Amino acid sequence: MLESAPVAAPESIWSYVFRVVIPLVTIAGGFFTYFVRKYLEERSVNRAVLAEVNRLITAVRRHYDWWVALTSRHSHPLVPFSYAVYKQHVKNVGVLKKDLVGAVVQFYGYLQFINDLQTRRKRFENGAHFEAVYTGSLKNFLELFEHRFDDEFKRQSWTLERQGTHTTWKL
């Protein structure tokens, strides 16, 4: 004759909730929190880098206009363009929108080239040669980048404002 195994008492629904449901909800909540935090971080980095790009485009435009209006350029000091936000986040370049990464890297690379030209100004034997190279570099920079990010600024809901003879995007 077959003996049946002892039958365990049915578990209460609360035991099941405490052992299975609550841990699953906790894990799902942790994943949700992690992904929301990553999304907000990426959005913040994108906005910060774009705000700095906007500031630098405006600065280069005004600098270029000032530079070409000068009659005697050799005595005027040149101050390198600073970009602390990018330097802080260059290690996180992967969090930038994929359609912006290349343009942002080119933008800052070209800006660094302009900064390097400024620091090497005295190494040019001919001041007129420096002025031609520097003026051309500023002009090329503006041709390449002055409106390169406009679509992204619009997507960020920034507004284009006129400031005298210049325009700039406002957050």
pLDDT tens, position by position, 58-68: 999 999 999 99
- Between helix 127-145 and helix 98-119 the angle, nearest 10°, is 170
pTM here?
A: 0.75
Please state the three-class secondary structure of 46-71 as a single string: HHHHHHHHHHHHHHHHHHHHHHHHCC
Please say whether the beta carbons of 121 and 79 come within 8 A: no
pLDDT at 28: 73
Report how far residue 54's alpha carbon sits from residue 149's, in angstroms, rounded to the nearest whole number. 8
Q: In the chain, at which residue ranges do the beta strands (DSSP E only) sit? A: 159-163, 166-170
Instruction: State residue 39's pLDDT score.
Output: 65
pLDDT given at position 134: 94
User: So where are the chain's domains?
Assistant: 46-170
| pLDDT beneath 50, residues of the chain | 9
Q: Could you tell me the end-to-end alpha-carbon distance of the chain, in angstroms, rounded to an integer?
A: 84
- pLDDT for the residue numbered 3: 66
Q: Which residues pair with 166 in a beta bridge?
A: 163
Number of H helices, E strands in the chain: 6, 2
Query: Angle, to 10 degrees, between the axis of helix 127-145 and the axis of helix 22-69?
Result: 140
* CA neighbor of 55 nearest in space, from 114, 133, 108, 134: 108
Q: Residues near 54 by Cβ (< 8 Å), separated by ≥ 6?
A: 149, 153, 158, 168, 169
At 170 the pLDDT is: 79
Q: Residue 4: helix, strand or coil by DSSP?
A: coil
Q: According to the model, what pLDDT value does residue 101 have?
A: 87
For position 120, what pLDDT does the model report? 92
**pLDDT, position 76:** 82
HSE on the CB side for 159, CA within 13 Å?
3
